[in-house]
Amino acid sequence: MKLKFLHISLILLCSGQLALAQTPVIQTSFTADPAPMVYKDTVFLYTGHDDDRAIGFKMKDWLLYTSTDMVNWTDHGAVASVKDFKWANSTDGAWAAQCIARNGKFYLYCSMPNAAGIGVMVADSPYGPFKDPIGKALIKNSMEDIDPSVLIDDDGQAYLYWGNPNLWYVKLNEDMISTSGDLVKDPSFAKVKGSDDIFHYQEGPWAWKRNGKYYMAYASTCCPEGIGYATGETATGPWKYGGMIMDGDARSSGNHPGIIDYKGKSYVFGFDQTLRLKTMSQHYERRSVRVKELKYTSDGKIEKLPFWTPEELKSVGSINPYQNVKAVTMAYSEGVKTDVAATLGHLKSATNGGKIPSGMVLTSIHNGDYIKVRNVNFSKGASAVEVLIAALYGGQIEVHSDAIEGPLLGVVNMTNKGEGDVWRTIKTPVKTLTGLHDLYFVFKGKHDLFYFDSWQFSGKR
């Protein structure tokens, strides 16, 4: 990931091109440099974070989102920050990172700008907390030390790849926090003056293995950047150019691939800037992670995709409404933000033994804002919905099915005010429904309404 300031005309806002953009995975924050990891039954999506409150370009931490259906994503907030690397001596520059699991540990490889190097953090859980185990950069070679990617081969040998504008690699020891052998500039991707550069490698490598073949995806051609890929017979090449997974597009100056297999399907993650175009008049670097299904031909080639188009992914799972669901689990939202519950004050319950939230909660809720949750499985029908909220000015939550103005299931009323750190459970009867439905929680009222932690339905009696 490098700074690229492509001046995109605001004519896009009224030209119809904006409407072509796929709904971003996350709408409550600007996210970049996606690094998906499948662990057990869950996709863990680690992202960079473009600070939308800053003037200019700032990235201070790495965020985590999870999903078990590829359409609804739960916000877990920041799992690490630049400040965790004391040797970096910086509070800014949380560039691309990737997390990988090995031997019950989770290793987060992080890059920082201006030749600070590539660091590594380790945790006992994919949710963190991550800590720096070596107190120095793992890779500190040149200005090219950005965008790490890790592949663990079938024989157990792990490889770390990185680099802009060249691809570099080194073997990792089994401890995953030290290297073995020389740092190698890969000759297949090397820029040779006067030669035909068919790879058009820029940055952001992503390595994986499938059916005995090695793949290397990367941000290709600048600028704008698309996503290209190459294949090889070993983890270190030589590499053969495979083609473009996706051409570049004026809606985004950069890109950064992340590719996984999950529940029988393959997916490619990247980013564009259409959310910024929708919400901000100035350019800066404000990116949003996207995802599309990836398909292979019978001989292992990757079918070329159009740029991020608007169709929704098909869900590969469903939400159980009869268990507690965090309000920061959503497929789409308008207007709202998220924050760490503990930062909202000295949390307390309105009743003895009542619930107090932890982790992330929904904030900045105003009239007309909403969240959408896809593919909710009402196998037992519904008789009531229970929400955990902390009232500011108070207001209402309208619960609709299948569309923002779809059938009204019920209305949650909050009459209390000025209780930003007092959490109340409110239970409201709802009209019954069965089967799979999308839910819309639509917020009504004046000013800053309330904080919203979670919801849960009761089955039909």
Asked whether residue 318 is assigned to any structural domain, the reply reads no
Name the DSSP letter for residue 321: T
Asked whether residue 311 is assigned to any structural domain, the reply reads no
Could you tell me if residue 375 is left (phi over 0), alpha (psi between -120 and 50 degrees) or otherwise beta? left
- The token pair at 143 is 């200005």
Residues 187 and 106 in one domain: yes
Residues 257 and 342 in one domain: no
CA dihedral 290, 291, 295, 296 (to 10 degrees): 70
Residues 263 and 133 in one domain: yes
Residue 2 pLDDT: 41
Domain span at residue 86 reads 12-294
Q: How many domains does the chain have?
A: 2
Residues 330 and 284 in one domain: no
Residues 198 and 79 in one domain: yes
Residues 273 and 376 in one domain: no
CATH of the domain at 133: 2.115.10.20
Residues 289 and 145 in one domain: yes
- The token pair at 255 is 């890109």
CATH of the domain at 431: 2.60.120.260
Query: Which residue is it, tokens 């040797």?
Result: 87
Residues 256 and 382 in one domain: no
d(CA 191, CA 174): 31
Residues 287 and 333 in one domain: no
Asked whether residue 319 is assigned to any structural domain, the reply reads no
Residue 254 pLDDT: 84
Residues 262 and 192 in one domain: yes
Residues 220 and 358 in one domain: no
Global pTM exceeds 0.85: yes
Segment holding 140, helix H or strand E: none
Asked whether residue 312 is assigned to any structural domain, the reply reads no
Residues 286 and 344 in one domain: no
d(CA 143, CA 136): 17
Residue 193 pLDDT: 62
Asked whether residue 434 is assigned to any structural domain, the reply reads yes
Asked whether residue 302 is assigned to any structural domain, the reply reads no
pLDDT along the chain (461 residues), means of 10: 36 34 80 97 97 82 98 98 93 95 98 92 98 98 96 98 97 98 94 74 97 97 92 97 92 90 98 69 75 97 92 94 98 96 92 90 98 97 97 97 97 94 96 97 97 96 72
